[in-house]
Homo-oligomer: A and B are copies of this chain.
């Protein structure tokens, strides 16, 4: 019924963005066309460049346009800490929320043999090389608490043990300001079992 058009194509293309349904895509397309053509042009260019030129950091596997990302190139950070995360976005949120001054290693997923994701896919060899450098004294696990996340954490813990590296894990529990009645039972049970001495 509808004629194919550049407008329809733009609306359809906007649907590739997460959380954008047909209504939002329509609203976005009209907003750009009617009120912000410069923004639309800038976005087109940014997308084009990012898709073509952003690859993975050779050292930490995060997304980067350089062979080695700007974080790994920093000399003012503490190489004795290595934080292992699942995704590049985790690096960004940790950088924004914490004052962590060590380095990162991005797995790019979780161990999931059924989906064909084994140690190789997660760059475990690279992580091993990193630990073999003997500069890391504390490996901080920031993987998720899903079954696969736990298996991944367990696997990496074994690896770190081989290199006599101290392993810690970020705390899981009730979010700050979270009311107990709104916290899911798994988190609550975990927080209760993991209670600590109050000083």
Contacts and interface: CB of A to CB of B under 8 A. Distances in A.
A96 B56 CA distance: 43
Nearest to A22: B96
A3 interface: yes
Given A33-B88, A44-B47, 15 more contacts: A6-B65, A7-B50, A7-B63, A10-B49, A13-B42, A13-B46, A16-B40, A17-B31, A18-B31, A26-B89, A30-B89, A33-B54, A40-B47, A41-B47, A44-B44
29 contacts: A5-B70, A6-B65, A7-B65, A9-B46, A13-B43, A13-B45, A13-B47, A16-B36, A16-B40, A16-B43, A17-B31, A17-B43, A18-B27, A18-B28, A26-B89, A26-B92, A27-B89, A30-B63, A30-B87, A30-B92, A33-B63, A33-B88, A34-B87, A34-B88, A41-B47, A41-B51, A43-B47, A44-B45, A45-B48
A116 interface: no
Contacts of A77: none
Closest 6 CB pairs of A and B: A16-B39, A44-B47, A13-B46, A44-B48, A30-B89, A10-B50
A32 interface: yes
A20 to B, nearest CB: 8
A37 interface: yes
A186 interface: no
A87 to B, nearest CB: 7
Interface string A50-88: 111110000000011100001000000000000000011
A45 B17 CA distance: 15
Contacts of A33: 50-51, 54, 63, 88
